[in-house]
Structure 1
């Protein structure tokens, strides 16, 4: 059986049409844009929103699937019976769902698909943050003596990724040892531990040592634990007199004040230059004088003991005469006497100047009163000139015409 040339041309024409049809289909597939999604991060117990968009749709349905490739929603239809998963929006070009009360098991890649020919997909990674627990401080139970060392240990569990720990003394950050990170069995979380070693002084007594957790799942300062630091130290001592101007014959006391941890409970009084006066009585932290006497003058010492150590201090007692008058303001009498002397001196100067002024003016009056009497020819004329009078004669006046 033979075929004509025309027949072969006909077959070639249909093969060519079929080729271009396939080519056209391939080009259409290449220019189709897949769905668009975005990665999300959420803390355990939070809510995550998954959004899938396409620019154009040929009435094909959108679908969300979980990390196990189980269908969550197909269009508006729920496929998995999990009440935590809710539909927010479903259109031909958009599918939005939420997952509430997120757990660590929800971590992973989620898939959005559109069932065209062929099926197009896009993936969104959901990162679930493990929330760290409140830090626990251990390793310090009792008070430590001044100059000693104390070690604190801070631990926080349940973080993902591993949390970072920070140490503080009151509000000042201090450096501890590098964090030690350990993975927790049976779950993808971590336990973080840090140590802090301090050589303490008395200034550290009652200071707050704090450990704080830094993690993207919590706000700064949300997870913080504080422990007060107790430091034992020997007392520093001071003596406080009842008054600054003790006077002979009066009652008087000296009080010994000790600042230490613990507070001092034993006090010893001494007199540097001999025995305590017979009229002086020791009452624990007080040294009482029933009636002061000049013989009580001297240097007195108090020694305080709190069981950790001892501290001592001295005070010089100077008894004043009973006639000494004190001023409310406590101004020194020598200063007052100096001020009074200056005032008296100024008043005397003023009186001398005033007296000289009066004497000078009186001499001027007498001089004017006698003026003109020396040249008078007789006594009557002298009297008239002294009084400033005139002879009674009119001055002759000439007029020129």
Structure 2
């Protein structure tokens, strides 16, 4: 009788798998059985890598085996049985058999079986769930700018997700609510295409605002799959008039500039004076109105009109010409005020000096009257004089005594 040679080991593995196929489906898992294999379910994204681990608490030197969803043997102990370079041995010990499957595809999803060839054969199953990674979302509806006050409908679409992805809309940093997602299955493919619509009524403030569509799915981090575009809104110009010189002085030149902020920028400007025609010496040149020489008759309100084809804007400026006499008078008044303040300060200082002088003189007189202190207790004028003289003579005698 002939036996298979060593190179026919793969044939033996396949034969054993076929013999025990019925036993695989009839095994009863016993958690208290130390030889019962233990596995865990795994989830992986398309293109990723998954590790399948099978363990037993004890061993009787029986080999562990991993089989795929079609019951094809992947690894029998340390020996690879299926020629698929994506499947590699991760770890093999008497109590563990772990394998890696890289570049996972949707077709790899399903139930994998770990078997230990004891009597009877014991098995455990691990379900591998493969997530279809959604494609980067695409936004449509930005093809042409939108006039202010009108509505625009934007559509966001993402393909290839499994399970179906969710789409979220953001206006700037604020999430806005679109219509419910529309989910479509792909023929002959387990993935889905998802789309969502967002309708906005735009204003001038929405011009250049970022609108984002973000995919929400377990296979990607939040914000990893994102597309944003800027709204383009057409609106009439907002007009402002600014003077080129600081002051409008009679006899000097002066000019005004009209600026209009709109989309598109205004290209047509016109000037008028509210009270009538423009002065003879005023020259309008596009956005500028120039006065070669100002005079009092130029006073009044000037109006600028800006047109960008979408609409017209209007701005106004009131011109008040200052004559040189008023400027001089104003300057003289200012000097007079300054002089008055200085005079008040000088007056206050003089008053302080006078009060201080009187204070010093008063205290000096008090010191001199101490010499006649003896006369305060005299009963009459003669005695007071004698006491006063005696006081002086006593003082003199005292001085002579000490000398």
Which range, TM-score by smaller chain?
Answer: 0.7 to 0.9
Structure-1 separation of matches of 2:342 and 2:207: 57
Structure-2 separation of matches of 1:196 and 1:393: 117
What secondary structure is seen at the aligned counterpart in 2 of 1:345?
helix
The offset of 1:191, in angstroms, is 0.5
What secondary structure is seen at the aligned counterpart in 1 of 2:278?
coil
Per the alignment, residue 384 of structure 1 pairs with none
Tell me if structure 1 keeps the 8 A contact 2:268–2:308: yes
Tell me if structure 1 keeps the 8 A contact 2:151–2:202: yes
Per the alignment, residue 256 of structure 2 pairs with 254
Structure-1 separation of matches of 2:280 and 2:53: 96
> Residues 393, 33 of structure 1: CA spacing in aligned structure 2 closer, same or farther, 3 A cutoff?
closer
The offset of 1:114, in angstroms, is 0.6
RMSD after superposition: 3.3
Structure-1 separation of matches of 2:85 and 2:209: 50
Give 1:325-364 correspondences, 5 Å limit. 338=337, 341-354=340-353
Structure-2 separation of matches of 1:226 and 1:239: 36
Bigger Cα Rg:
1
> Residues 186, 358 of structure 1: CA spacing in aligned structure 2 closer, same or farther, 3 A cutoff?
same
> Residues 206, 393 of structure 1: CA spacing in aligned structure 2 closer, same or farther, 3 A cutoff?
closer
In the TM superposition, what whole-angstrom CA distance separates every residue of 1:136-174 from its partner, at most 9, and x where no partner exists? 101221111111000000000001111111111122111
In the TM superposition, what whole-angstrom CA distance separates every residue of 1:22-71 from its partner, at most 9, and x where no partner exists? xxxxxx99956420001111111111101001112222111100001000
Give 1:45-56 correspondences, 5 Å limit. 45-56=47-58
Per the alignment, residue 225 of structure 1 pairs with 227
Structure-2 separation of matches of 1:203 and 1:37: 58
In the TM superposition, what whole-angstrom CA distance separates every residue of 1:198-230 from its partner, at most 9, and x where no partner exists? 000111000011101111111111111111101
Per the alignment, residue 205 of structure 1 pairs with 207
* Structure with higher helix content: 2
Per the alignment, residue 282 of structure 2 pairs with 280
With normalisation by structure 1, the TM-score equals 0.79
> Residues 362, 123 of structure 1: CA spacing in aligned structure 2 closer, same or farther, 3 A cutoff?
closer
Give unmatched runs, 5+ long, in structure 1.
1-27, 373-389
Structure-1 separation of matches of 2:185 and 2:316: 62
* Equivalences, count: 348
Give 1:1-400 correspondences, 5 Å limit. 31=33, 33-322=35-324, 338=337, 341-354=340-353
> Residues 345, 31 of structure 1: CA spacing in aligned structure 2 closer, same or farther, 3 A cutoff?
closer
Structure-1 separation of matches of 2:75 and 2:32: 27
Tell me if structure 1 keeps the 8 A contact 2:115–2:121: yes
> Residues 29, 248 of structure 1: CA spacing in aligned structure 2 closer, same or farther, 3 A cutoff?
closer
> Residues 394, 362 of structure 1: CA spacing in aligned structure 2 closer, same or farther, 3 A cutoff?
closer
Structure-1 separation of matches of 2:139 and 2:31: 62
Per the alignment, residue 5 of structure 2 pairs with none
What secondary structure is seen at the aligned counterpart in 1 of 2:324?
coil
The offset of 1:265, in angstroms, is 1.1
